[in-house]
Amino acid sequence: MLKMTHLSKVYRTEVVETYALRDFNIDVKEGEFVAVTGPSGSGKTTFLTIAGLLETFTGGEYHLDGIEVSNLNDNARSKIRNEKIGFIFQAFNLIPDLNVFDNIEVPLRYRGMKAAERKQRIMESLERVGLASRAKHYPAELSGGQQQRVAIARALAGSPRLLLADEPTGNLDTQMARGVLELLEEIHRDGATIVMVTHDPELAARAQRNVHIIDGQVVELSEDPRFHSVHAVADGAHG
Amino acid sequence: MQIRPILAAMRHHKAGTVLIALQIALTLAIVCNALFIIQQRITRMSRPSGVSESNLFVIRSDWADKSDTQRIDAQMQADLIALRQLGSVQDAASTNSFPLRGTGWDNYIKLQPDQPRMTTDSAIFFSDDHTLATLGTRLIEGRNFTASEVAAQKPRDAMHAAQVIISKDLARRLFPQGSALGKTIYVSMGQAPSTVIGVTDTLQAHMTGSWAGPYAYNAVLIPARLLNDYTYYLVRAKPGQLEAAMRDAPKALFAQSRMRIIDHKDGVMSFAQVRQRAYERDVGMAILMGIISVVLLAITAAGIVGLTSFWVGQRRKQIGVRRALGATRGDILSYFLTENLLIGIGGVLAGAVLAIGINLWMVTQFEMARLSLAYVVAGVAALLVLGQGAVLAPALRASRVSPVEATRSV
C-alpha cells in the first residue's frame, strides 16, 4: 500500500543542507494499522507530509497503492490525495466558515461527485462517527472530540485507500482521546489501512506495528506477532 | 461551481463582502453616469458646424473711434477690399457673429406679424454677397445676396431685411410641409416682413450651450453690415496658406487704418481655435468625468486586490487544507474568482439600480438626457471584468499555497 525505498528529504538554504529524512525505508501493507513514533524533530511529520503527497521528496522511491508518485504533476498528486488518502490532523483542520455537512462535502466536491451521492456519503460517514444530528452545526459549536470526529468523517466519506493521522488525539483530553482512538480502531477493524504519527507511547501501543524514527531514519520496529505480513526495514539503525 | 458553500462562507465575512459590493455599486452608478455625460459632450463637440473650417480664420477689429458710424461703414468696406486683394486670401466678409462663437444675436422668428408667441428662435448673422463663399457653406435652394442688397445697419435701429437666407434646419422648422423659398418670415421685433430668397445646407448657430439644443442649427443671414463698436472679418485663406493669410491680414488692416484694436492674443483666431474655445468647457467636463471614472475604478480595483489579499493571508491554512483534501491549483483559483464574481454580481445589481436612480434625479434637476441602458449593461460588464482582473493576482497567489500548510500549527 505504502512503500518508501531509500527515500530522502533535504531542506536546502544558501549555507546549509538539512536532511529531514535520510535513506528512509518503510513498507505498509494493506489493512495495517501502523504507529510512527519519534521525538520532536525526528522527521515523523515530514514522513507523513510526503506519504500524504503534501510535499515532494528529494531522492529515492515512493509507491502508493502501486503508483510511483515521484514524477506526478501537481494535478495528479491532488487527484491521488483526493481519491486515495484521508487525512486526520491534530488541529482537526475543519473550515470554520462551513457547517459540518459542508466541511465533509469539500473533498467530495473536488472529486466532482453528484449531489445525491455526496449527501448519501456524508450522512453515512456522520452516522459512523455518531454525529448525524450535528450536520448543520458549525465547528465552533462542537467540542474538540466532536470536531475530530467530523474530521474523521470527512476523511472516511471519500472511501480512501489510506488514512493518515497526525497526532489525532494531541489536542484532546483523555476521555475524548479514548473515544477517537476507539473509533480509529473500529475503522481499522473494518479493513482500513491507517498510518498514525504520534509521540504518545500509549497510543502507539494500540497500533499493530510501531515504526520509530530518529534523525530522519527508521531505527526501531516493534511488531505485533499476530501480524506477519510486515516488511519494514531499518537500515543504518542505531539500536 | 461550488456556489452554495462559497455563499455560506461569505456569510462569515459580511463586513468586507458588503463594503466591496457597496463600492462596486457606487462605482458603477457614478461611472455609468460619468461616461454618459462624456459621450453626450463628445457628441455635442463632434456636431458639424456647416462651415468649411480648415482654411478659415476670424479677425476681431475694435474701432478706436466708435462715434462716427459713417466712417466705420467706409472703413469696413475698405478693409474688405484690402483683405480680398491679399495673395494668400481667397475671400472675406464682415459679420457680427459666426457659428460656434458662443455669443451673438438671436431673435424670435415668427410667421405672422401679430403672432403672440414666437415660432422658433434663430441666430442672426449679418452677411453680404461674400459670406457664403467665405464660410464655405453651400446654398441648396434659391440664390445668394447681390452686392446691391447689402445695406448698413446701426445696432439700435429697427432691423429691416427685405430678403433673408435661412439655414435648412430653420426652413424645415418654419415650413415643414414644403419649400421655404419665397415665403415671408418676421425676424425682428418689428412688423417688417422678410422674404426667404435662399436656403443653405447645414449651418450651425453661434450658441453652443445645452439650452440652445433645439435652436442649434437655426440661422438667418441678413444682407447688412452692422456698424457696431467692433466687427468680425471672416477670412478664407487660399488652400495651404492659412498661416500666411493669418499673418498678412492684420497687417493689411493696419495698413488701411491704425484706428483700430486687434487683440494680440485672440484678435486673430483660426477656426480650429474657435472650435476649441467653443467646446473647452465640454472638454473640461469630459476630462473631469474621465478622471473621476478612472480614479473610482482604480480605487475599486485596489479595494478588491486589498481585501482578497487579506482574505488569502487570513485563509492560508484553510487553502492548505483544501489542497490537502484534493483541491487542484485551478480549484483554488476558481474559488476566489467565483467568490469575487458573486460579490461583483451583488454590487452591480445594486449599482445598476443606483445608476438609473442618479440619472433620473439628474434628469429632473439638470435637464440631463435619460441614461441609455446600454451604458448600464456595458458598465456592469466592465466592472465584473475589472473585478475578475483585480482578483486574479491574489487568487493566483492563493493557488500557489502548498498543501503542506495544512500541517502547520499556525
Q: Does A84 touch chain B if contact means CB atoms closer than 8 Å?
A: no
Q: Does A27 touch chain B if contact means CB atoms closer than 8 Å?
A: no
Give one DSSP letter per residue of B317-335, joined into a string: HHHHHHHHTT--HHHHHHH
What confidence tier does B85 reach under pLDDT thresholds 50, 70, 90? Answer: very high
The tens digit of pLDDT for each residue in B154-197 reads: 888 877 789 999 999 999 999 999 999 999 999 976 678 999 99
- Residue of B11, B12, B404 lying closest to A55 (CB–CB): B404
Q: Does B181 touch chain A if contact means CB atoms closer than 8 Å?
A: no
Q: Does A215 touch chain B if contact means CB atoms closer than 8 Å?
A: no
B80 and B215 together in one domain: yes
For all residues of chain B together, what is the average pLDDT?
92
Overall average pLDDT of the A112-132 stretch = 93
pLDDT at B212 over 90: no
Instruction: Find the residue in A nearest to B321 (Cα).
Output: A93
Domain ranges of chain A: 2-223
Dihedral in degrees, nearest 10, Cα atoms B161, B163, B166, B170: 70
Distance to chain A for B393, nearest Cα, Å: 20
Question: Distance between CA atoms of B75 and B62, rounded to whole angstroms?
Answer: 12
Q: Does B331 touch chain A if contact means CB atoms closer than 8 Å?
A: yes
What confidence tier does A190 reach under pLDDT thresholds 50, 70, 90? Answer: confident
Domain holding B225, by residue range, is: 65-258
Number of structural domains chain B divides into:
2
| In a domain? residue B313 | yes
Q: Of B226, B258, B290, which marks where a domain is finished? A: B258
Give one DSSP letter per residue of B289-318, joined into a string: HHHHHHHHHHHHHHHHHHHHHHHHHHTHHH
Instruction: Find the residue in A nearest to B14 (Cα).
Output: A97
| In a domain? residue B266 | no
Distance to chain A for B318, nearest Cα, Å: 6
Q: Does B327 touch chain A if contact means CB atoms closer than 8 Å?
A: yes
Q: Which residue has the cell 473640461?
A: B284
B170 and B308 together in one domain: no
The tens digit of pLDDT for each residue in B278-298 reads: 999 999 999 999 999 999 999
Give one DSSP letter per residue of B75-134, joined into a string: HHHHHHHHHHHSTTEEEEEEES--TT-S--EEEEEBSSTT-SS-SEEEEEEEE-TTHHHH
The tens digit of pLDDT for each residue in B9-60 reads: 888 888 889 999 999 999 999 999 999 999 989 988 999 999 999 999 999 9
Question: Distance between CA atoms of B158 and B228, rounded to whole angstroms?
Answer: 14
Cell of B74: 467706409
Q: Which residue has the cell 487542484?
A: B328
* ipTM (interface pTM): 0.89
B88 and B202 together in one domain: yes
Q: Of B201, B223, B258, which marks where a domain is finished? A: B258
Q: Which fold has domain A2-223?
A: Rossmann fold (3.40.50)
